[in-house]
Chain A
């Protein structure tokens, strides 16, 4: 899947130049960098926390950290990768604080300690999601993913980053990124099935109630 990259239109300050000027404290350059990347960072934060007020706060915090450190940026990695790395860290730190316990990335991605992955029931009846995945359903399910899975899923499947970029952003191996993504998708499938079953149960109940009234 190709990532949608923001196109620089002629006449606008190119990113490299904006970085150079921002390193010298130029206000317009800061704004330019913010405008180039704010949407993707905000979207990442929003999908990670599922709350607009908190996403705004985290977006501001990520950019604040970025601009505080911009003088140290030497261009070893892509600017957007660097920014996303900061943003993911800011979000994961917040989620860790929220959970009130110190936990490693592995702990944040492994909900099933026994198997090291999402619970699975092989040989279950043939349930299909056809027609039941809309944006709202999927977003609800994404919100229930453990933070580590969620970050990899949002970066890869929603924002279109490649595994090598995610490995840099998340500070993990490419294999780890692939494995987390696979587990995230399987967990999502499970969550979507659960919500499908819940809905079917509610529908039956509603139909039963309606029948009782007749």
Chain B
């Protein structure tokens, strides 16, 4: 006869680390108790299910938003922990702070215009002289994986469009137009990065452009 009661069993019970389904209680008394006690069998089964569901939670972990890094970086620069300056923080503050009240389409248009102006600047002769000061050794372009991701996202976005949507709505047409502009801008930035791999500023603009493209693709997907 089992000498273990439910409290003893449940206090002593520890699920195995190897498997979420547990069927090996610590000793013979506990095994006997488990055989005779439906409540403890249910307890063991529930704990196994909780473990399995918890492991699935990890698979659904969301990607942290990009703004955390931008904000963190701005703070690190402000505190002088990161040595060297970045144009991104003031750009973000400028666009985010002053124009946050404007409607999104107006903002997007303004943003694209600004990007084009910057692209012109990047390809100009002044650029190389200014940006040589921004040399950072040991850095590598972190934008290539993002570029690949965007290309596949773009393919998925277009392939998911039904054939009946070949005649686009004006908003969709405008988004496609903007996408085209951003793509051209990305080409310019990529050229700049290729010509001057050490140019951190060019990489930052390229990264920013990829994000703009990601936003546009997301909007297209929503439609």
Contacts and interface: CB of A to CB of B under 8 A. Distances in A.
Interface of A: 1, 4, 11-13, 17, 21, 24-32, 34-35, 38-43, 46-47, 52, 56, 59-60, 63-64, 67-68, 120, 122-124, 126-130, 133-135, 137-139, 142, 153, 157-160, 178, 182, 185-186, 188-189, 192
Interface of B: 5-7, 10, 13-15, 17, 20, 38-39, 42-43, 45-47, 49-51, 53-58, 60-65, 67-69, 71-73, 75-76, 79, 81-84, 86, 136, 138-140, 142, 200
B39 A122 contact: yes
Contacts of A35: 69, 142
A25 B63 contact: no
A1 B47 CA distance: 15
Given A13-B138, A178-B14, A189-B47, A60 B72 contact: yes
Given A4-B58, A122-B6, A122-B7, A38 B68 contact: yes
Contacts of A42: 61-62, 64, 68
Given A39-B63, A158-B54, A128 B139 contact: no
A56 B68 contact: yes
Nearest to B40: A122
Given A160-B55, A186-B47, 19 more contacts: A27-B83, A28-B139, A30-B73, A30-B82, A38-B68, A39-B63, A42-B68, A43-B58, A43-B61, A59-B64, A120-B10, A123-B6, A126-B42, A130-B49, A133-B53, A134-B53, A135-B60, A138-B57, A189-B46
Nearest to B56: A135
Contact of A189 (B14, B38, B50, B73): B50
Nearest to A43: B61
Contacts of A17: 138
Contacts of B67: 56
Contacts of B68: 38, 42, 56, 59-60, 63
A127 B42 contact: yes
A101 to B, nearest CB: 29
B72 A158 contact: no
Contacts, number: 152
Q: Which 5 A-B pairs rank lowest in CB-CB distance, beginning with the nearest?
A: A25-B83, A157-B54, A42-B64, A28-B139, A43-B61
Contact of A159 (B50, B51, B58): B58
B36 to A, nearest CB: 13
Contacts of B58: 4, 43, 158-160
A182 B140 CA distance: 45
A3 to B, nearest CB: 9
A1 B55 contact: yes
A126 B71 CA distance: 51
A192 B47 CA distance: 11
A64 B71 CA distance: 10
